[in-house]
Every structure is written in structure tokens, then in C-alpha cells.
Amino acid sequence: MAVSEISPSYAGSRALPPNDLSSRPINPLLAFKNRRPSLPCSARRIPRILCSVSPNQVQAPVLSATPAGAASKRECFGVFCTTYDLKAADKTKSWKGLINIAVSGAAGMISNHLLFKLASGEVFGPDQPIALKLLGSEKSFLALEGVAMELEDSLYPLLREVSIGTDPSEVFQDAEWALLIGAKPRGPGMERAGLLDINGQIFAEQGKALNDVASRNVKVIVVGNPCNTNALICLKNAPNIPAKNFHALTRLDENRAKCQLALKAGVFYDKVSNMTIWGNHSTTQVPDFLNAKINGMPVTKVITDIKWLREEFTERVQKRGGVLIQKWGRSSAASTAVSIVDAIRSLVTPTPEGDWFSSGVYSTGNPYGIAEDIVFSMPCRSKGDGDYELANDVIFDDYLRERIKKTEAELLAEKRCVAHLTGEGNAYCDLPEDTMLPGEQ
């Protein structure tokens, strides 16, 4: 059997001689891989063996997974140095095939909540084994190792593989889902145009990497802000992946809107349906109370205070992230992770009859008259196959159309700001106003 060795400068593989592996039976689903540039001998740690699977799953742990002469090529620790062989009878025949999930910003606060939900089976189901491919930076690599250690200590039976690295062209290899969370926060004195450029470069690079090495049907959810335009940049740099496969996360905004309507109506939030967030994930976003329902009835029939809906409700949803930062001292992490889970489950679970969910998707071909070639949050329905269709039973009034035009104008201006990253010529920034995104500072 051949083992692939990954170097920081070359994403190919090199077959090691078979005799180096004669005493090391390998189950590829349980082999955890550490992708990191080699360190000087003085800095290399002695490998240690840590728990990673239940005792009844282990056939024969082997202490050394690094053959003689290979120690100078890579560093390993814990399960990254250990391989296991399962008895044929122990293999769960009812499980589905392995899903490869790539996560950027994997050492951050959002990922610290999200990864364990993914590993537990909460997202893809109790019979769906997964492989996590975690992307970090050189600065965050020690923290990334810590994340991997916590994952191995958690003994998740569905988590069959973890790999970590700093090169998206390696980490995104064969990814079927890419959750792009990592992005630079907006610093003091930084103009919005500057943030668009800095983060846009990150997502241009990641789009190219997805285009080169990911599954041709990879589903991409962009979380790092400004997420709509970052998703546009990403898809423009991945021409071999369907544009329809790219999403900008607006599910947290939808969840916040449902919460506010439930509070006002005196019901539990599961009674609120058909909640749409239109447009940009910014303070121009449009929480749509015209099409939303409470207990199957139009919201405007349950909450008759239209002034509250247009003013207080809308502003609360738009500025909820900023209020949370003031109280909590940081941007939302746990609720963002939950909304990512919700967004994925909405794509892999059939949408309840008559309902829909919000997602920032590629606008070309939309039935609403919204400008094409931007990433715009709209109402979607899914059959549970990872794909979606736009809802066609939506109504509009003058107020809703006016608000949609405002958020559309902002996204078109952002698109002009990043033209140099989407292959559309020189950038020109004429942002209508500096709309602060939740968590940008």
C-alpha cells in the first residue's frame, strides 16, 4: 500500500516503499493527517499516542507511523502518528460514504462551535461519516493543532479523518462542502472599500483552489464578511464549479428576524415561517414581513402595527449583531455556528411544504427583477439533494421593492469595488454609504 506524503510547496504525492508499511495495516478512514511544513530537529516534538477511537474499534494500534528517514519531512503527534485497522465485522455496513468537509478559519471562535456539531452527526445525520479538512494560517497553526486534539479526545465515531494545513490547494482536495469562515476583521480607521479588497484577495485565492482541487459539485457557504461580495469573488474565480453552488450566509439574519416576530406575537419561534432576508448581509438587508407567516397566517394579520414592522422590527434585525457586540464584547460565534448548521440542513433536508429559507445566491436568472451577476439573499426551497430552487409564490408591494432596490444598489457598488478580483477590469469604488456589517470591527 502506498502512503501519500504532502510537502508545503508541492501538493502531489510520493509513494513510499511497500516494505516500510509491512507492519502497519491502515484503514484510510481512520488515518488522521497533519499537513504542516517540517520543523528543525530542535523544535520537533516526540510523538505521543492519544485516544481517538473507542477501544472496541481498535484492532492493533501501532506507535510509529513515520518510517525511518521520513522524520525530516513532516511532524506528527497523537493520532496523526497512529494508524488503525478495523476488523471486517466492525465496519458499519449501514453507513453512507464518507463526506469531505473543508472549513477555513478553523481555529476561530465560530469553528470552535461548528466543528463539534459537524462531528457529532447533528448536521448530516447519524449514519453519515465525515472527514474534516481544516484550513488555518501559520499564525494560528498551534491553535489548529489544539482543535484537532480536542476533536480526537471527543471520540466521535462518525469523524473518520481530520487533516490540517495552511495551503487551500492542499486542504480543499476533493472537498464536497467548503465552509469559508476565515476573514480579516475590520480594524479601526479602515474604510469599507479596504476591507472588501483585503478579504476579496483571500476569497479569490480560495476560489482558485476550489476550482483546481475540490469536487466538481462542491457546495460552498461563505461566512467571512462582506460575505455576499466575497461569495461573488469566490465563484468568479472558480469557473469550473456551478455558480449556483455558492452561498453567502444570511441564515443568522433570518433566525434573528424569526425571533423578533415570535417575541412580538407572543408565540414560540417555530410558529414563524416563510421568513426572507433580501439582499446584502449589511444594515441595508431587508427582513421581509410581507411574505412571512405566523401560525400559517400573514404576519401583518397577526401583528397589525405596521409602523413597528417597518421601523423597530427592521432596525432590530439589521443592527442585532452590533448590539450583541456592545453587550458581549465580541461578535456572535455560537449563534453563527448554529445558523451555518441550519443553512446546510436546509440544503440536505427537503423544505417543508409551503415554506422556504433565506440564502445569498447567484442572482442571474432570478424571477424577481433583481439585478443579475451579484450574490443576493433570496427565498429558496430544496428537495434535500444539496440543490435549491427560488420560491415563485412571493408577493411584493412598493415598500418592499423600494427597500430591495437600496440593498441591490449597495451590492452593485461593492461589485464595482472588486472588479479587479472578478476579472472585470479596474476597480472603481462609489459605495453609497458606509454600512457597517455586524462583526466588522
Residues serving a catalytic function are 281
Is there a contact between 439 and 187 (Cβ–Cβ < 8 Å)? no
Is there a contact between 249 and 343 (Cβ–Cβ < 8 Å)? yes
Is there a contact between 309 and 300 (Cβ–Cβ < 8 Å)? yes
List CB contacts of 85: < 8 A, sequence separation 6 or more: 25, 26, 27, 59, 60
User: What is the DSSP secondary-structure string of 215-236?
Assistant: -TT-EEEE-SSSHHHHHHHHHH
List CB contacts of 46: < 8 A, sequence separation 6 or more: none
CA pair distance 387, 213, nearest whole angstrom:
21
Q: Which helix (H) or strand (E) holds 297?
A: strand 297-298
Is there a contact between 246 and 228 (Cβ–Cβ < 8 Å)? no
CA pair distance 370, 185, nearest whole angstrom:
29
Helix, coil or strand: residue 328:
helix
CA pair distance 62, 35, nearest whole angstrom:
20
The residues pairing with 10 across neighbouring beta strands, listed in sequence order, are: 7
Q: CA torsion sign, 199 to 241 to 105 to 257? A: positive
Rg for the chain (alpha carbons), in Å?
A: 23
Check whether the bond before 226 is cis (ω within 30° of 0). Answer: yes
Helix, coil or strand: residue 106:
coil
Can you tell me which residue has the cell 457557504? 221
The residues pairing with 168 across neighbouring beta strands, listed in sequence order, are: none
C-alpha cell at 229: 461580495
CA pair distance 55, 63, nearest whole angstrom:
15
CA pair distance 249, 107, nearest whole angstrom:
19
